[in-house]
């Protein structure tokens, strides 16, 4: 599992799918590292961020609460499933036939 800890999109870049591109890049990195999910937490009343994460494939899976500086924040826990890594083709014959069957990279 990978965690998307913090993300911020400059106001002038909002509405241009920048958040989605950042989430997709994070997910691609995590999938390449063998992770099966990416999780994040977003403050409950941050509607714009929640919509951006939902558009990037995240779904609400829980809630959390934490207190900092005397302020209590309610957060949504969100998760995005990642595709499993493809296993390399097995060359059981030892003669490269599996690689030929798989085709070029």
pLDDT at 94: 55
Task: Say how far apart CA 64 and CA 60 lie, in whole Å.
Answer: 11
Task: Say how far apart CA 97 and CA 95 lie, in whole Å.
Answer: 6
pLDDT at 96: 54
Task: Say how far apart CA 72 and CA 87 lie, in whole Å.
Answer: 45
pTM: 0.75
Provide CATH code, domain 2-102. Answer: 3.40.630.30
105 residues of the chain, pLDDT tens digit each? 999 998 889 999 888 999 999 999 999 999 999 999 999 999 999 999 999 999 999 999 999 998 988 999 999 999 999 988 765 566 555 555 554 444 444
């Amino acid at each position: 599992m990978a965690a998307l800890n913090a993300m911020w999109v400059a106001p002038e870049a909002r509405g241009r799918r920048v958040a989605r591109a950042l989430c997709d890049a994070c997910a691609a990195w995590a999938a390449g590292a063998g992770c099966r999910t990416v999780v994040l937490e977003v403050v409950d009343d941050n509607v714009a961020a929640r919509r951006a994460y939902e558009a990037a494939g995240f779904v609400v899976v829980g809630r959390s609460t934490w207190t900092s500086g005397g302020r209590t924040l309610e957060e949504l826990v969100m998760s995005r499933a990642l595709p499993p890594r493809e296993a390399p083709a097995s060359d059981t014959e030892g003669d490269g036939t599996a690689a030929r069957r798989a085709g070029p990279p």
